[in-house]
Amino acid sequence: MFSARRRIRERDRAARAAQRGLAGAVVDAAELSDAEAILDIQGLKTTFHSDEGTVHAVDDIDLVVRRGRTTCIVGESGSGKSATARSILQVVDNPGLIEDGRILFRADPEGPVRDLAALRSKGDAIRSVRGREIGIIFQEPMSALSPVHTIGNQISEVLELHSDLGPAQIRERVIDELNNVGIPRPDERIDAFTFQLSGGMRQRAMIAMALIARPALLIADEPTTALDVTTQAQILDLLGELKVELSMTMIFITHDLGVVAEIADDVVVMRHGKVVETGPVDQIFHDPQHDYTKELLASLPQRSAPLGEPEAPEATPAVGDAVPDGGRPGSVDVVEVVSDPRETVRHEHPQARPLLRIRDLRMEFDAVSGTMFGRRRKEKIVAVNGVDLDIAEGETLGLVGESGCGKTTLGRCVMRAYDPTGGELLYDDGSGAVDLAGLSQKQLLPYRRQVRMVFQDPYGSLNPRMTVRQVIGEPLRVAGLARGSELDDRVETMLERVGLRSSMASRYPHAFSGGERQRIGIARALITSPKLVIADEAVSALDVSVRTQILELLADLQDELGLTYLFISHDLSVVERICDRVAVMYYGNLVEEGPAEQLFANPQHGYTRALLSAVPVADPRVRGTRERVVYRPDEGESEESAA
């Protein structure tokens, strides 16, 4: 108990030092550019100095966050939105440095205004603000929480630092807070490790941690980007409710305009470290001023109504009060649907000749439970559970579902990267059907050239030690189809076809941006003149504007070369935009399948409805008008409704 006493003594010392530090940073309230402001960033510059040079991540920005509102900072990767958020708490990643500017923060509406940028980054003063007055949530809860400490331990720490409560009281408060953020059985979960929780539960724990000291301001840095869409919807609802309940102010950082439309009161658009436009959410979506904002909005999938212009003048509410304050209303209409996940809803439609007929495809994985001695108790994980699906020649079939639903496994089975446990893959390019599932590796060789894949990660899927020429030419060389100058010619032609220059062939992948790398990946897939291309989350890692370009390229190539796409994605808006037909998977089962317009306009299966209702709509005016559908499988055996 000696250490506990010492810790308290240390805390008291730190508290006094923090008081002195904070007193030194007090600024006259008249300096705030808005009397309502809780946070007023003035001329902030955050710079990263490294051997490769200096990057101005945040380049002289002004930004006001008004009390009680949700301010969304949007921008593509590298726009400086995260660096801005981290500058507020002075937790910028090494070697970032706040060079200039003021961050005026007024925790209490009547309290003193302090300049956080004037505090030392490792001092007691800023530490007393972190966690206590400003909480922060990060993107990936798995890596943002320590894997070797229980969540209870990590959440308690905030109270140990910022309160006088004893261990038993702290534990009680933590359990209470876990309950508040909607974690079932909080008295057990408090002792769970991060890897024992689902992604949504982890993010809830992270939120509990950020909120337990009741900060006046919550910064959420892409908190839902790593989550599935239904989980995202739940977390957004939760944040909205908590914000009202705890009367907080929220800064929400995201690249997803759909999310912005759902929750923002004010929007700040950032690009290349600068603020290009700020305004109330309705104005940003319906009357954008800056070209970049217009560009971002234009890259959105065109849903029901055209964006960028108000539908009718009389329907345009006065800018600013179109949306009720407090973001997403606390009460969302929730409808629960129960149905059998093993039943497949098929929309009737005429179909062209199928290039690939998937019949009763099953893929099981053995999960060896326990240690090496527990081998006898094998568990089977059924990743694909008897799926029947046709892919017609020349069409784009979208395969959607949330992580773990088996869509990637299905794609890999078609590739025969996995050997399916059962079923048939009848491939018919006009010369008679062949069951790919039954072929040996050797017999499969000719089909390897006809069925090709584009991968998700443009960084991980290219060998950094091979030039672009080698990367793209490899499939031809391995197949013995071309050599020497003929090979080079074909590689260069292909490079031009995917929108790159033939002179780029001798460079290495690191010299290219994410979008260019994905073009290289596409070139590699197309070099053998395939019939069927499987694009597994091929645009998920790309920024919206680049994503649009790649999708256009894929569409052009399809027209030119008569390709058939199996487009696997978790992003429903992309699928709706480019797919002719859509198939929805849920825990290994195909639950619904049909033409894109029909399926999106009139979803039949409960899960499809839940999925579609969770997708944020990029129009602040429809906020709160839709009902939320929650799906529950109609059987006891599936796992607990994971968040």
Q: Which stretch binds other proteins (CB under 8 A): 129-137, 285-293, 578-586, 606-614?
A: 129-137
Binding mask 9-28 for other proteins (x = CB under 8 A): -----x--------------
What torsion, rounded to 10 degrees, do the Cα atoms 389, 391, 395, 400 define? 40
Q: What does each C-alpha distance from 209 to 159, 245, 247 come to in angstroms? A: 9, 16, 17
User: Residue 623, SS3?
Assistant: coil
Binding of other proteins at residue 2 (CB under 8 A)? Answer: no
Q: Using the rule CB under 8 A, is 143 a contact of other proteins?
A: yes
Q: Which stretch binds other proteins (CB under 8 A): 137-145, 230-238, 375-383, 605-613?
A: 137-145
Q: Which residue has the tokens 């990743």?
A: 383
Smaller CB separation from other proteins, 206 or 269: 206
Q: Which stretch binds other proteins (CB under 8 A): 135-143, 295-303, 314-322, 395-403?
A: 135-143
Nearer to other proteins, 96 or 406 (CB): 96
- In the complex, the smallest distance separating the C-beta of residue 91 from other proteins, rounded to whole angstroms, is 5
Give the span between the Cα atoms of 109 and 35, in whole angstroms: 9
Residue 247 interacting with other proteins (CB under 8 A): no
Q: Is 384 within 8 Å of 406 (Cβ atoms)?
A: yes
Q: Are 134 and 217 in contact (CB under 8 A)?
A: yes
Q: Pick the binder of other proteins from 69, 81, 127, 286 (CB under 8 A).
A: 127
Kindly indicate which of the ranges 86-94, 104-112, 450-458, 460-468 contains the residues binding other proteins, using the contact rule CB under 8 A. 86-94
Q: Is 144 in the site for other proteins (CB under 8 A)?
A: yes
- Residue nearer to other proteins on the CB measure, 128 or 528: 128
Question: Minimal distance in Å, beta carbon 38 to other proteins?
Answer: 18
- By CB under 8 A, tell whether 89 contacts other proteins: yes
Distance CA 270, CA 292 (A): 9
Characterize the bridge pairing of strands 378-392 and 354-368: antiparallel
Among 37, 40, 42, 138, binds other proteins (CB under 8 A): 138
Q: Which is nearer to other proteins, 25 or 209 (CB)?
A: 209
Closest approach of other proteins to the CB of residue 158, in Å: 5
Quote the least distance from Cβ 57 to other proteins, whole Å.
Answer: 15
- Which amino acid is it at 636? G
Q: Could you give the count of Cα atoms lying within 13 Å of 639 in the half-sphere of its Cβ? A: 9
467 neighbors 511 (Cβ within 8 angstroms):
no
Which is closer to other proteins, CB of 124 or CB of 256?
A: 124
**Contacting range for other proteins; rule: CB under 8 A; set: 57-65, 128-136, 414-422, 460-468:** 128-136
Instruction: Using the minimum distance from each CB to other proteins, give the nearer residue, 127 or 570.
Output: 127
Which runs of consecutive H residues, i.e. helices, occur in 343-483? 407-415, 441-448, 468-479
CA distance 74 to 572: 20
Phi, psi (5° rounding) for residue 265? -100, -50
Give the binding range for other proteins (CB under 8 A) out of 134-142, 349-357, 486-494, 631-639: 134-142
For other proteins, the closer CB: 254 or 293: 254
End-to-end CA distance of the chain: 39
Burial of 418 (0-12, 13-18, 19+ CB in 10 A): middle
Residues paired with residue 427 on neighbouring β-strands, in sequence order: 356, 434
Q: Which of residues 363-382 bind other proteins (CB under 8 A)?
A: 370-373
d(CA 32, CA 82) in angstroms, rounded, equals: 23
If one asks whether residue 195 binds other proteins (CB under 8 A), the answer comes out as yes
Q: Tell me how far, at minimum, the Cβ of 135 lies from other proteins, in Å.
A: 8
Binding mask 106-125 for other proteins (x = CB under 8 A): ----------------x-x-
Q: Which is nearer to other proteins, 91 or 601 (CB)?
A: 91
DSSP output for 11-40: HHHHHHHHHHHHHHTEE-GGGSSSTTEEEE
Binding mask 201-240 for other proteins (x = CB under 8 A): -----x--x-------------------------------
In the complex, least distance from residue 18 CB atom to other proteins, rounded to whole angstroms = 9
Structure tokens at 413: 């089975």
Q: Which of 65, 63, 66, 72 is CA-nearest to residue 616?
A: 72
- For residues 454 and 535, the answer to whether their CB atoms sit within 8 Å is yes
* Contact indicator for 249, 67 with CB cutoff of 8 Å: yes
Return the number of the residue (24 or 95) whose C-beta is nearest other proteins.
95
According to the binding rule CB under 8 A, does residue 132 interact with other proteins? Answer: yes
Q: Which is nearer to other proteins, 159 or 436 (CB)?
A: 159
- Closer of 320 and 374 to other proteins (Cβ): 374
261 is a contact residue toward other proteins (CB under 8 A):
no
Q: Which helix (H) or strand (E) holds 551?
A: helix 544-561
The residue (of 142 and 481) whose beta carbon lies closer to other proteins is: 142
The DSSP H or E segment spanning 613 is helix 606-614
CB of 203 to other proteins, least distance (A): 12
Residues 288-347 that bind other proteins (CB under 8 A): none
Contacts with other proteins in 515-534 (CB under 8 A)? Answer: none
Per CB under 8 A, the list member of 12, 34, 93, 325 interacting with other proteins is 93
Both tokens assigned to 172: 């009680």
Binding-site string for other proteins from residue 146 to residue 185, where x marks contact by CB under 8 A and - marks none? xxxx----x--xx--xx-----------------------
Whole-angstrom CA distances from 498 to 62, 492, 513 are 40, 10, 14
Beta strands in 83-193 (DSSP E): 96-105, 113-115, 134-137
Least Å from the CB of residue 367 to other proteins = 11
Query: Please, which residue, 154 or 598, has the CB nearer to other proteins?
Result: 154
Helix/strand/coil percentages in the chain, nearest 5: 40, 25, 35
Should residue 97 be labelled a site residue for other proteins when binding is judged by CB under 8 A? no
249 contacts 38 by C-beta, under 8 angstroms: yes
The residue ranges that bind other proteins (CB under 8 A) are 14, 86, 89, 91, 93-94, 122, 124, 127-132, 135-136, 138, 140, 143-149, 154, 157-158, 161-162, 193, 195-196, 206, 209, 370-373
